[in-house]
Amino acid sequence: MQKKYYLKNYDFFMAMFALAISIFGIIVIGSAKESVQNRQIYGLIVGFAVMIIISLVDYSYILNIYWVYYILSIVLLLAVKFFGRDINNARRWIIIAGIQFQPSETVKLLLILFFAKFIMINEDKMKKPSTVMMMVGLFFPVWYLVYDQPDMSTSIVVFLIFAILMFIGGLSLKVIAGVFAVVIPLIIVGMMIILQPDQEIIKDYQQNRILAWLEPDKYSSTEGYQQQNSQIAIGSGMLTGKGYKNNEVGSVKNGNFISEPQTDFIFAIVGEEMGFVGCMTVIILMLLIIIEVIRLGWNARDLAGTLICAGVAAHIGFQTFINIAVTTGVMPNTGIPLPFVSYGMTSLISLFMELGVVLNIGLLREKRSQY
């Protein structure tokens, strides 16, 4: 049966917030590395168009083939493993028809759709250990293939998305408490182990990044070089920044103090050139998008809609937090893009695809009872 869509239910605000922050990102990319700016513009045009198209497709139809999304996730990540392109000690990209594509970005959406439907179908069984173990068993192969690229930062985001979906889906609080009781000590012990010279749990460069974060002065000219320069750049921008495309020799991009500033360290360019005002513009726009996504999820017509919105909000929120935490020195350098702002067509288009599904959930939303 064809659903009726009402224009008043279309969340134009969220669409405009996403468009605004993406245009802001294109402007900053033009300063960081002008040669790739046109590609990001093309990504925005394609992504925005795809978002509108997806927003008009009933998400229940999209979820009917949820197992296809899971299988596709595995296939894409295996394609990276066996046919991927190595860049900077990592294999995260494949080339399709001459276009470089990063499957792990799209896999986030595929996993959100798969687990949203899976949890809704098994809603009454979410408190059973067998259901929880089945979900963990389904999640682990995808997570491991991302982690093994190696891509620790994306694997962390994927894990956090999964954790939020499990929590919203009705996972027992006793199970959550038990997990925390086990995981927290394991993290402490794990950190002690991975800091040992001969450990084999993580790659050497990943260990060095953690050490550089713990002892920044010791690694200031090696692994900690970019992160320290990022902090200096953000601080030097003060209130309104040094100016867009400034010609100061000491700026991070003009002095090559950060390699590929248009990607993971784009927030440093924002801070240096546009200051506190520019940084807060990014944070506020990101927060407004997340609030709108959560609001639409709260009024979704079913659990799957709520879970999709929760997953998308978790993706944007956690990834934004990690990126800014890295550029400001709160976390070790992990290498993850800032949503909508960093250069990367796969990331940008995938994000707009996520928002397209969320917009459709908004079109079909129902007002929750006040009682």
Query: Of 179, 189, 185, nearest to 159 (Cα)?
Result: 179
Is 368 inside a domain boundary? Answer: no
Mean residue pLDDT across the chain: 88
The position carrying tokens 């200096």 is: 232
Q: pLDDT at residue 44 above 60? A: yes
DSSP state, residue 9: G
Q: Which helix (H) or strand (E) holds 27?
A: helix 12-32
pLDDT for the residue 1: 45
Q: pLDDT at residue 124 above 60? A: yes
Q: pLDDT at residue 368 above 50? A: no
Query: Of 52, 130, 149, nearest to 92 (Cα)?
Result: 149
Is 371 inside a domain boundary? Answer: no
Torsion of CA 121, 125, 129, 134, to 10 degrees: -10
Q: What pTM value is reported for the model?
A: 0.92
Is 348 inside a domain boundary? Answer: yes
The strand pairing partners of 95, in sequence order, are: 100
**What confidence tens digit (pLDDT) does each residue in 235-244 have?**
999 999 999 9
Is 369 inside a domain boundary? Answer: no
**What confidence tens digit (pLDDT) does each residue in 143-194 have?**
999 998 878 889 999 999 999 999 999 887 777 777 777 777 877 777 777 7
Side chain identity at residue 88, one-letter code = N
Is 274 inside a domain boundary? Answer: yes
Is 252 inside a domain boundary? Answer: yes
Domain count, the chain: 1
The strand pairing partners of 99, in sequence order, are: 96
| Rg of the Cα atoms in the chain | 21
Side chain identity at residue 87, one-letter code = I
pLDDT for the residue 61: 94
Kindly report which listed range (57-66, 154-163, 197-206, 292-301) carries the lowest average pLDDT score.
Answer: 197-206
Is 127 inside a domain boundary? Answer: yes
Q: In which domain, by residue range, is 242 found?
A: 7-363
Banded pLDDT at 367 (limits 50, 70, 90): low
**What confidence tens digit (pLDDT) does each residue in 280-297 have?**
999 999 999 999 999 999
162 backbone dihedrals φ, ψ, rounded to 5°? -60, -45
pLDDT for the residue 366: 66
Mean pLDDT value of segment 353-364: 95
Residue percentage of the chain with pLDDT more than 90? 59
Is 308 inside a domain boundary? Answer: yes
